[in-house]
A and B are shown apart, each in its own frame.
Chain A
Amino acid sequence: MKRTLSVLVENRPGVLTRVAGLFSRRGYNIDSLAVGRTENPSISRMTIVVDGDEQIIEQVCKQLNKLIDVIKLSDITDDPHVGRELMLIKVNAEPAVRGEIMQIVDIFRARIVDIARNSLIIEATGDADKIDALENSLRPFGIREVVRTGKIAMLRGARTKGMEASGDGTGV
């Protein structure tokens, strides 16, 4: 079972290591992890796709929540959300097959962003299924290199996964 976790973290040094370290130490499988800063530069958001049964996912969430740099964590898998991934893919493209490749690129609403003598770089965004499908369609031509960002996600509608924190230390 794949779950998508949206995690707000403090932008402190080492926070990515802490999150990644937790996964390896406890033997959880990360499918993908994407991180970048939010509208507030001192806070970053990680979108983590994790694979595991219900008990493992529960542990992942609880253990992540214990990290002091983790401000808020939500499992948004079951909430309506837009999930996107960006892929750059370099395929063999002898002049004879370029037309065919361009058709595939059109169907997937991807773009060609670089052309060399015998290869092309294609850029595509979409959900994981679409990206996988595009990759599969291009495979017969010979894939030289794939770079994928991992999924990022945002809830649909006006709702946000807010930054309201519930932690200690507003006083003292």
Chain B
Amino acid sequence: METKKLTGSEIIIKALQAEGVDTVFGIPGGAVLPLYHELAVASIRHILTRHEQAAAHAAEGYARASGKPGVCIATSGPGATNLVTGIANAYMDSIPIIAITGQVGLAMIGRDSFQEADITGITMPVTKANYLVKSIRDLAATIHEAFYVATTGRPGPVLIDIPKDITTQRAAFHYPPRLRLPGYRSRVEPHALQVAQAAAAIQAAEKPLLFIGGGVITSGAHEEVRQLAEEQDIPVIMSMMGKGAFPETHPLFAGMVGMHGTAAANYAVCETDLIIGVGVRFDDRVTGKIEAFAPRAKIIHIDIDAAEIGKVVPAHIPIVADARQALQALLARLPEKRERPAWRQRIRRWQEEHPLRYDECGLKPQYVIEELYRLTRGRAIISTDVGQHQMWAVQYYPVDRPRAFLSSCGLGTMGFGVPAAMGAAVARPDETVVAITGDGSFQMNIQELATLSHYRIPVKIILLNNGYLGMVRQWQEFFFDRRYAYSELAGNPDFVKVAEAYRLPARLVAAREEVVPALQEALETDGPFLVDILIDREENVFPMVPPGGTLNKMVTGGRQE
């Protein structure tokens, strides 16, 4: 029987459907016109963003909130290069997205043709893999391989560059094609001996700490983490990427570690005798000065990526494996119960002595977030931008479940928050999605108000407006003699009017007592909403470990602890 031949565009769509894709984010252009022609009549939902960077961030928000890969599409040249920041962001945080870019026709490649950019060359260092499809016969297999590579092992973004003529040529379509990846190994079994050593180290430890990160969320290992913590009575600290991997309201939770982490978590690191790192990469925002990080501790490091072991800190007991599998193996080797009351109480005392605190007069951002937490009963999906507001969101909105806190952590990309929230809201229409943003970050993708408005995507934007690139101003205040070089955002627009111009309801909040009613209105109104909140302009984020400093030397409200 002869198989019907399909065009390249039809193959792309059929392959996406076979991979379970229901939504894509993108902007059309010359090189992807044939693809868009088919997309218009396909069952896949296409969301037209107003900038390709936002399409990439939306795909990432979709992936983070749903656990499925997000997909974005752009045309050749400027469309493709506009994706780059979003791709780099997904790379740094190990989030699976698929970027499909149009390319000039095969015969035109390499001639500086109109809207030609070597996007596979440009994105080589910020993708897990990328492909330039050179024959229609490879198209389906490449798409399948791209999804496979993006979502297995340590996930990451994958880009597929498709010349325009390939999207109109025809070929037979078989799916899924055979995978052939002799150089790619995504599954590794936890090594029995190392698991046994880890179990022994946990039993011998008096002051162990579970340090969990993004890998726990990727792996879906949150239940195993909880079981290990509870059965062995081990306090838990997290990286920012680990937020939600362990309930922050749990009595064993000690806080986020690192530069803006809690005093309890940072003190605990300085005293612990065993760190059980699960799906963490010991970022410099976490460790501070490396030589002084966890000076008394043995380190068990569980990571699916062998290259992470020993990259920053030496691991005494490395386990290269998926977190969930490794923890299951570990749990099977440990006795059922263990109590460590002294260590638990020591951490509790630190928590009581050094709680997060702020001065309550005026209109404080921390207060806004606490009220948001109360009004959403801690059940919203929070997306943030980058800056002080991001840190306040981390500190004052405890999260109890995975995939409910989305933030640009590794790259720290201003402009991430709103489009990522958009992707999350599309992926999880049953959830309340809130974007906490700053006046600087918001303006880096403010055009997405049009997307939110047009599709009525119900993102609630909480704008913590301080008239500054606040995080920069804070560093200038602390480390650069208070010379606020170009960090004041003079010339900010009237954000409420901007929102209204996009036909989005909006409210201005200028006093403390207006916070709750405005938040309530935002949450109760159907569809998107903006709350522009004029917070105390020079509020700072505390505690803070100065960059390269030691974790137990935190600055809190101007005082050294």
Contact = CB atoms under 8 A, between A and B. Distances in A.
Interface of A: 9-10, 13-14, 17-18, 21, 25, 55, 58-59, 62-63, 65-72, 165-172
A38 B186 CA distance: 26
A139 B488 CA distance: 62
Interface in B174-217: 176, 178-187
A10 B184 CA distance: 11
Nearest to A60: B307
B129 A68 contact: yes
Contacts of B186: 168
Main secondary structure of the interface of B (DSSP, over half): loop
Main secondary structure of the interface of A (DSSP, over half): mixed
B406 interface: no
A81 B137 CA distance: 42
A169 B182 CA distance: 7
Contacts of B305: 66
B120 interface: yes
B124 interface: yes
A169 B148 CA distance: 10
Contacts of B128: 68
16 contacts: A13-B132, A13-B134, A14-B124, A14-B132, A21-B125, A25-B125, A62-B306, A62-B309, A68-B149, A68-B183, A168-B179, A169-B184, A170-B180, A171-B179, A172-B176, A172-B178
Contacts of A166: 185
Nearest to B121: A17
B295 interface: no
Interface size of B as a range: 20 to 34
B183 A169 contact: no
B310 A17 contact: no
A14 B307 contact: no
Interface of B: 120-121, 124-125, 128-129, 132, 134, 145, 148-149, 152, 176, 178-187, 305-307, 309-311
A167 B185 contact: yes
A10 B182 contact: yes
B179 A172 contact: yes
Given A59-B307, A63-B307, A169 B125 contact: no
Nearest to A14: B120
Nearest to B154: A66
A167 B183 contact: yes
Contact of B181 (A55, A66, A168): A168
Contacts of A168: 148, 152, 179, 181, 184-187
Contacts of B152: 168
A165 B180 CA distance: 11
A18 to B, nearest CB: 6
Interface centre among B120, B132, B182 (most CB of A within 10 A): B182
Contacts of B145: 169
Nearest to A165: B182
Nearest to B183: A71
Nearest to B126: A25
B178 A165 contact: no
A23 to B, nearest CB: 11
Contacts of A66: 305, 307
B124 A17 contact: yes
Interface centre among A9, A17, A66, A70 (most CB of B within 10 A): A66
A162 to B, nearest CB: 12
A143 to B, nearest CB: 35
A125 B149 CA distance: 42
Contacts of A167: 181-185
Given A59-B311, A62-B306, A65-B306, A70 B183 contact: yes
